[in-house]
């Protein structure tokens, strides 16, 4: 059971890291592709929103508030980019 718990947490952490790396890379290098794609923006928003919900339901306060900051930054970036 302990190995399953570690494997579950490791795989889901890798998913969160992969999400951050891909969207961070797109935002820095290919910002036109990311910010002009409604699909990518909605998928990213759904992913971060899902992390916030998971954080509220299952995590302790530090990861939850960290993901809330991530969500605020994500929405702010979309707002700033759409105004520019």
Say how far apart CA 29 and CA 33 lie, in whole Å. 9
Residue 12 pLDDT more than 80? no
Domain boundaries in the chain?
Answer: 2-83
pLDDT score, position 77: 87
List, as one string, the DSSP characters of 55-71. Answer: HHHHS-HHHHHHHHHHH
pLDDT score, position 9: 78
DSSP type of residue 26: H
pLDDT score, position 54: 85
Q: pLDDT tens, 22-81?
A: 988 998 999 889 888 999 999 999 998 988 888 888 877 888 898 899 899 989 988 988
pTM exceeds cut of 0.85? no
pLDDT score, position 35: 87
Chain-centroid distance, C-alpha 37: 16
């Amino acid at each position: 059971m302990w190995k399953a718990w570690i494997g579950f947490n490791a795989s889901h952490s890798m998913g969160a890291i992969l999400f951050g790396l891909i969207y961070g890379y797109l935002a820095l290098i290919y910002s036109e592709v990311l910010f002009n794609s409604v699909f990518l923006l909605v998928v990213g928003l759904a992913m971060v929103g899902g992390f916030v919900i998971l954080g509220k339901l299952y995590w302790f306060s530090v990861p939850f508030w960290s993901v809330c900051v991530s969500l605020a930054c994500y929405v702010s970036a979309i707002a700033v980019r759409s105004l520019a």
